[in-house]
Structures are given as C-alpha cells and as structure tokens.
Structure 1
C-alpha cells in the first residue's frame, strides 16, 4: 500500500537528488566492494539564503533505504521506517548531538567557502556524505565527502586519517588534526558501526532481502524516425545495485549508442532499469542478434535474454503467392458459376410438358 508523501519525504528526496555525481560514485563503489558489504551513509544538506526548506537536513540510509531523518526545525532524528511505526533505533540522543556538531561545522565551512568565492548573496548549498562500510563484519571503509554548490571540495578518509581538499583553509594543523582523529576514532566510528549492525539485525527482512529481476528485450517502432528501438529492461529487483549490458552479436554495444541507464524506484520498494538502442532499417536487415545480460546479487549467474529480427519477406515469393491465390480464387469462382448454370439447365430439362386446349388441360 502506498504511503502519502510528507514534506520530510520530499526534502529527503531533494537531498539525495542534489548529492553531486562524484559523491554518488564514491558511495556506489562502497556497495560494490563485496556481496557481503553493507553501508550506513549520512547525507546532509545546509542551505544559505531564503528558502522554504530547513537550514539543515540530514537523511540516514542503510544501503539504499532511508531509515532516519533530521532537520534543524525539529532538532531530533525521527524514524523513516514505514514498516515500523514511530520506532527509532537506540542512542538517538547521541545522534542528535552529532547532528548539532555537524550543523555547527558545516556553517563554519560554508561561510569560508562563500567568502572565498565572493558569493555572499543568494542561495547556496553545502552538502556532505559520511559513510561507513562493513565487509563481513569488518569495517572496510569510513569516509567523508563535502561539496559546495555541486562541486566537490573535500575528502577525508577516517580510517587512515588522511584528507584531500581543494580549499587551503580546510587543511588542519597538527592540533586540529589530532582533535578530528580522536572524534572520529572514539565517537563517530563506533556509533556508525553500532547503528548499522542494529538496523541490519532488527530489519534484516527489509534491508537484506533479495528480489530477483525480471528481464526482457522489447522492441517498438519510433513514431518520428521510423527506426526500431530495442530496449533491455530489468524490473522488480532489490537491492538497487545491478549491472546491465546490451550485446550485439555477443559484443557490448558502446555506451554512446545507448539511452537510459538510470535505476528508478518501483512503487513496491523494488527497482527498475532500462537501456535502449535505436536501430535503423539497414541494421535490421543485417539481422544482428541483441542480448540483454543482467547481473544481480539475487542470482548466481547472469540473466540473458535475446532477440533477433525476423527475416525480411522475399518480394518474388510474395508475388508468386499472390498470383497463385488470385488464380485459385478465379478457378473457384468459375467452378461455382458453371456448377450453378448446370443445375439450372438440369431443372429445366426435368420439368414435365403442359398442353392447353380450348377449355381443358391435359
């Protein structure tokens, strides 16, 4: 059953959609490290300027599922688990303190960036992604990425405690570096791991489920060009991570020839993906074989579905068939006419003669 979207749901979607592409690539690579990998990520967005949105919004996600929400108006984390009404995980007070610390830190960094870029007016967005990844119950990755108005400015590896920044003002001195190392080691890292494990334990039926994709190859005529669109479609799968390749005669079709490729949500909590290729009439006559191949955690082997254009009809053969049909039709009609004429003549010959006299019939 579908839930009505609240303003917090919409804000959560805005945060996820506005995360820079480089951040999503880094976050996506965490999930693809191992089939036994699970990730807790915290997506935050700080807005400077007049908008209808809260100044700070935060979404906590387990793998690709939003589980908690925070904004600077309500000043507390609330559950986004629609399968557990009003149920929040433990240690919310500690996470609320973390959110307050994030708010203060992001405000300082945003002020530095706006001043440095001479952008003190208008609406500006400062975003951050913090994520910890468990691989077979071992902390494999723990990092922070930050961006200003859609451009990445800062990275921090919280396991090796190394930073990479394009902003000299963000470079720590030894004292600040030791402080940041202590905070991440003694507070953020244990909290991230504990929260992730508890969610995976309490909601494993939701967060760790695997739904097998349904794969098919469909084709349709493009109304304006008359070309044929061949589409590889996978739907109904979970988790979100999936690999799809469209092959032409067992060779991958170059990405530049394809359209689509964005994983989209279905209404039932699963996902769908479509990649399409526009094929000319000449290519159809060449009768290439197109194969959609999909890899997903729910299946051991790749799923392959193929489609091959039908052989074009021979015009000489079509003409011969049409002539034969016409000749046969003419013969049938002629036979029917002759048969009816013979029957009519036969009935006339079999009719008895009648004579008439002056007042009597014989």
Structure 2
C-alpha cells in the first residue's frame, strides 16, 4: 500500500485596507480545514461534536487560547514591517505567516515557519536553533522583538516539535472528513501532431492528497525521458487531481505501448490503464477486415447457391421474395 505523509498547515494573516477581518488564522490537516478564528469572533470557539478524546479537546483549547496571542504577534509584525519599509500611509498592507509540520510514515517529523510582508519573504524561524532569521534588513527589528520574549519562543518551538504532530494524529483519528478515502479515477487523453504524440494520464477524485503516478514503457521499465508532471490540485469537493504526460516522437508511436500506473492508499494494489501505439491497432484492423470480408464472401456465395436451388424448386412465384432477400429489403434485416 502506498504510504502517506500527513501535514498540518497554519495560515496567519493580518491586513489593512482589504475586505478581510483585521486578523484571521486557518488550520488544515491534509488540506482539510479543521480550525478557524478571526478577530471579529466573540466568545469561545465551540468544540466540534466529533472531537471527543481528551487529548483532542486539549489541543482544541490550546489552539483557541493561542489564537488571540497569535493575533497580537502577527499584527505587531504588520506594524513593524510597514514602519521599516516606510509604507505606513499605504492604503493596503498585508502580513502573512505560514507554519507547517509533516508526519512521515516512519513516525519522524519536520516543521517550519515563515513570514511574509506584502507577498515577499520577511522572516523565518529556525526551529532547531530557536532563532529567527531576517530575510531582509527591514526584518531585523521584528526579529529582536520576537527573540526578546524567550518564554513565547520556547512555546512556539515546542508547538512545532511536539504539539503539531499530536494534532495531526488526533484529527486523523477523529475528523470525519479525514477518515474517508476516495479511490482515484483514470483517463487517458491523446494529442497528436506531425512531430510527436502526447499521452496524458489524468488522475482525479482521490483522497488523501498523496498519490504516485508513473508511466511504464513496453519493456515495463519506468519512462524517464519526455515525461511532464503537473502538480496535485484540489477539485473543490475535498478530492484531488493530477496530470502526468509522456511525449512520444512520431517515429516511435508505431513500435511502443505505454501504461499509466497509479498507487494510492485507498486501493491495495494499483490501477493501470494502457495506451497502444498505432502499429498494434492497424495490425488488428488489417487482420479483422480480411476475416470479415472473407466471411461475407462465403455467406454471399452460400446465399446465391441457396437462392438458385430454391428458384428451381419454388418456381417463378417466389422470384420477388428471393430478390428482396438479396437486396436486404425484407422486414427484420
């Protein structure tokens, strides 16, 4: 079975001048939203009914508590960046942070945290050394502000080292939308011109996101040259799609066939769909036509022989009927 890498993403956004809350944050697990907070929300964020375990509830309470603290930190980042870039009077500014942790099949994990101002890298956190790295000179002041609060810095590092991975496990176990696996569907598309043929394997409708798509040649070896691989994209219904193409030179299309093989955690083996070059199809066509033609000739001679004998036996009164049979005009033909 094809193993998955599970990911928890956190998106933090503070802005001014946009039709957005002053601050909001979104948490997703394997691209499925599981937690949302914005600065306009009042009161406690209710715990979902499906989140029933003690550990999961603690994680939810922790996320709710830290959301207000995150709000203060990201808004401070927005103000600091606007001042350092001298754009405090600008009509629109936006400050974003993106945190992520990945849980691999072998139990190991990795994490990172980056910040951006107006769409450009601003600062990042080196989780192992517990230090912020200023990407641009204007970020040095904010770096010092964050590192000055060592207690908070320790909490952030602990979250990405430990709490984040625990959150992945809890949500995978309890969130209904994360417990359902969807089997991928395969379709092959062909595009030709005088120089080459491009065969595209379109894989869609699968969940979780992790999938492996591979083209194999006639020798059952993976195809390396002429392969074009797209990104995994969301469908909008919680499932994903991906396209992977192989470009075949015109002189090779009559001697090769290719197979698209898909592996996904929703299926025990794989799904395979084959494309056959024009030589194989033309050979089949060349064989089928003579056989069918020969068969029709035999039927024609037999029919004529039968009609001649029947004509002598039945007399001229049946000539009209025989002609109708030969011309295919009788009812039921």
TM-score range, shorter chain: 0.5 to 0.7
CA distance in 2, matches of 1:82, 1:272: 30
**Count of residue pairs brought into register by the alignment:** 304
The corresponding residue for 2:117 is 148
CA distance in 2, matches of 1:92, 1:57: 13
CA distance in 1, matches of 2:74, 2:233: 31
The answer on 1:101 being equivalent to 2:68 is no
The corresponding residue for 1:251 is 222
CA distance in 2, matches of 1:111, 1:279: 52
Q: 1:55 aligns with which of 12, 18, 22?
A: 22
Q: 2:36 aligns with which of 51, 54, 69?
A: 69
The corresponding residue for 1:182 is 151
CA distance in 2, matches of 1:154, 1:290: 45
Note the residue ranges of structure 2 that are not aligned, 5 or more in a row: 318-333
Alpha-carbon shift at residue 169 of structure 1 (Å) = 2.5
Note the residue ranges of structure 1 that are not aligned, 5 or more in a row: 1-33, 348-362
The corresponding residue for 1:219 is 188
Instruction: Name the SS for the 2:148 alignment partner.
Output: helix
> 1:290, 1:307 within 8 Å by CA — same for their partners in 2?
yes
> 1:141, 1:159 within 8 Å by CA — same for their partners in 2?
no
1:285-321 CA-partner distances (Å, limit 9, x unpaired): 223232324365x678x73625141712347646644
Change (3 A) 1:69 1:80: farther
> 2:25, 2:67 within 8 Å by CA — same for their partners in 1?
no
**CA RMSD in angstroms, aligned pairs only:** 4.6
Change (3 A) 1:172 1:84: same
Alpha-carbon shift at residue 59 of structure 1 (Å) = 0.6
Q: Tell which has more relative contact order, 1 or 2 (C-alpha 8 A, sep 6+).
A: 2
The answer on 1:330 being equivalent to 2:297 is no
The answer on 1:263 being equivalent to 2:252 is no
CA distance in 2, matches of 1:100, 1:295: 38
Alpha-carbon shift at residue 126 of structure 1 (Å) = 2.3
TM-score w.r.t. the length of structure 2 is 0.68
Q: 2:309 aligns with which of 316, 339, 347?
A: 339
Alpha-carbon shift at residue 145 of structure 1 (Å) = 0.3
CA distance in 1, matches of 2:121, 2:127: 17
Instruction: Name the SS for the 1:171 alignment partner.
Output: helix
CA distance in 2, matches of 1:114, 1:77: 36
TM-score w.r.t. the length of structure 1 is 0.63
